[in-house]
Chains A and B, each alone.
Chain A
Amino acid sequence: MKFSLAIYGAPCSSQAPDTAYYFAKAALASGHDIYRLFFYMDGVQNASRLATPPQDEQNIPARWSELIKAHNIDAVVCIAAALRRGVLDKSEADRYEKDANNLADGFNLSGLGQLIDAGIESDRLITFGC
Chain B
Amino acid sequence: MSETKSFLVLNRHAPYASNFAKEALDVALMSAVFNQKTSLLFMDDGVFQLVRSQDPSEIQHKNCSQTLPMLEMYEVRHIYVDEISLNERGLSEEDLVIPAQRVNAQEISQLLTRQHVILNF
**Residues in A lying within 8 Å of B, measured CB to CB:** 6, 40-41, 80-81, 84, 111-113, 115-117, 119-121, 125, 127, 130
Contacts and interface: CB of A to CB of B under 8 A. Distances in A.
Interface stretch (B28-36, B58-66, B69-77, B106-114): B28-36
Contacts of A41: 19-20, 23
Contacts of B119: 6, 115, 119, 125, 127
Contact of B30 (A116, A127, A130): A116
A84 B23 CA distance: 11
Given A116-B7, A116-B30, 20 more contacts: A6-B119, A41-B19, A84-B19, A112-B27, A113-B30, A113-B33, A115-B27, A115-B119, A116-B27, A116-B31, A116-B34, A117-B34, A120-B1, A120-B34, A125-B117, A125-B119, A127-B119, A127-B120, A130-B12, A130-B121
Given A113-B33, A120-B36, A130-B121, A80 B19 contact: no
Interface string B86-105: 00000000000000000000
Nearest to A118: B117
Contacts of A40: 23
Interface residues of B, number: 20
Given A41-B20, A41-B23, A119 B33 contact: no
Contacts of B7: 116, 119
A41 B20 CA distance: 8
Given A119-B7, A120-B5, A125-B117, A112 B19 contact: no
> What 9 A-B pairs come out closest when comparing CB atoms?
A119-B117, A130-B120, A112-B30, A116-B34, A127-B120, A116-B31, A116-B30, A125-B117, A41-B23
Contacts of B52: none
